[in-house]
A and B are shown apart, each in its own frame.
Chain A
Amino acid sequence: NAGVMQNPRHLVRRRGQEARLRCSPMKGHSHVYWYRQLPEEGLKFMVYLQKENIIDESGMPKERFSAEFPKEGPSILRIQQVVRGDSAAYFCASSETYDSYTEAFFGQGTRLTVV
């Protein structure tokens, strides 16, 4: 059973371009969470999705950021018109169920660099 797969591992974008980060959850997991780790900081929750639904996006910036988790395929975190401050590591986690004892498994992250 493969773990949470994120791609690309490293992504370089020029200011103003779009960044697309992909996350394939573990087999059998239908709950996906995105976190952002800014340099020298801990991870910050961004968004929680289930298949075809955004459940909690309280940590998402109001503009330029969006996330989806379609019925088929990976979850996508999209950042439009990237700026230098978007440079960070973006981690995806998945879990099997939504209950108080569910463990989330993390991917290796996508390191976004905006130049």
Chain B
Amino acid sequence: AQSVTQPDIHITVSEGASLELRCNYSYGATPYLFWYVQSPGQGLQLLLKYFSGDTLVQGIKGFEAEFKRSQSSFNLRKPSVHWSDAAEYFCAVGAGNTGTASKLTFGTGTRLQVTL
């Protein structure tokens, strides 16, 4: 069975500092990987996704993520955090072997706090 681990429950960074959120997955085949952001009281918004090809993926809002098969990781990065980035971030893996990327297994999330 597939699984996703986000080891950091809560991270605090200063505005303007760099950010890296960790994500490790367990999946037998080629994974389909996603990062979503959830602002308080809102739904999930897709930041970026990896299906194949270039292992460095660019997303919206200046985020990027790098797929490292050898480490089973898909860490999310941003060079300079803005106060508006404070939110909950979820990593997810898609059940590619079922023919769709839409039945997702989510990690427990990392709550990002940004200090001014």
Contact = CB atoms under 8 A, between A and B. Distances in A.
Nearest to A107: B43
B106 A44 contact: yes
Nearest to A33: B102
Nearest to B104: A45
Interface of B: 4, 32, 36, 42-46, 49, 51, 90, 92, 94, 96, 98-109
B43 A108 contact: yes
B101 A104 contact: yes
Nearest to B90: A42
Contacts of A56: 98, 103
Interface stretch (A14-22, A71-79, A80-88, A94-102): A94-102
A106 B51 CA distance: 19
A104 B32 CA distance: 12
A93 B43 CA distance: 10
Given A43-B90, A106-B43, A109-B43, A101 B101 contact: yes
A39 to B, nearest CB: 11
Interface in A18-72: 31, 33, 35, 40-45, 48, 56
Given A48-B103, A95-B100, A95-B102, A101 B44 contact: no
B102 to A, nearest CB: 4
A111 B10 CA distance: 23
Contact of A103 (B96, B98, B101): B101
